[in-house]
Amino acid sequence: MSARIRKQVAASATVPTGYGPLVAELKERVQAAQVKAALAVNRQLIALYRDMVARPVALSVLRPGQPNRAMAILEGKLWCGPDGRVDGYGLKCFPGKNEGPPGSPSGPPPNG
């Protein structure tokens, strides 16, 4: 590299005054954007996993006689009672299966 080019590179490498705070601010903004993006990705993944589990569970509760291969897989991953049942331990339904909404003939009396 010639001396002239070295001088040009050295002159362009000097940092103007007031440049440090600008770089610090840009770094903070980039880091904040990275955190925001990571949180958004996590929210989306949680929603995806929730939806992947919610549908088989809901179908098993609403249609207990219908075969449900996805729920069969999930049952092995839920907490089980001493008798091996999932209901009431790893899977809790509110209101209970035999209860209706408050105030209905099959439900608890309304609060009031």
| Domain annotation covers residue 35 | yes
Residue 84 sits in which domain range? 21-101
Question: Does residue 107 lie within any of the structural domains?
Answer: no
Structural domain contains residue 9: no
Exposure string over 93-106, b if 16+ CB within 10 A, otherwise e: eeeeeeeeeeeeee
pLDDT digits (tens, 9 = 90+) for 6-61: 777 666 666 677 888 888 899 999 999 999 999 999 999 998 988 888 888 888 88
Give residue 72's Cα distance to chain centre: 23
Residue 65 placed within a domain: yes
Which pLDDT value is given to residue 82?
Answer: 76
Query: What is the number of domains present in the chain?
Result: 1
Is 75 part of any domain? yes
- Helix and strand counts by DSSP (H, E) for the chain: 3, 0
Is position 90 within any domain? yes
pTM: 0.46
Q: Specify burial of residue 71 (Cβ count, 10 A radius: 0-12, 13-18, 19+).
A: buried
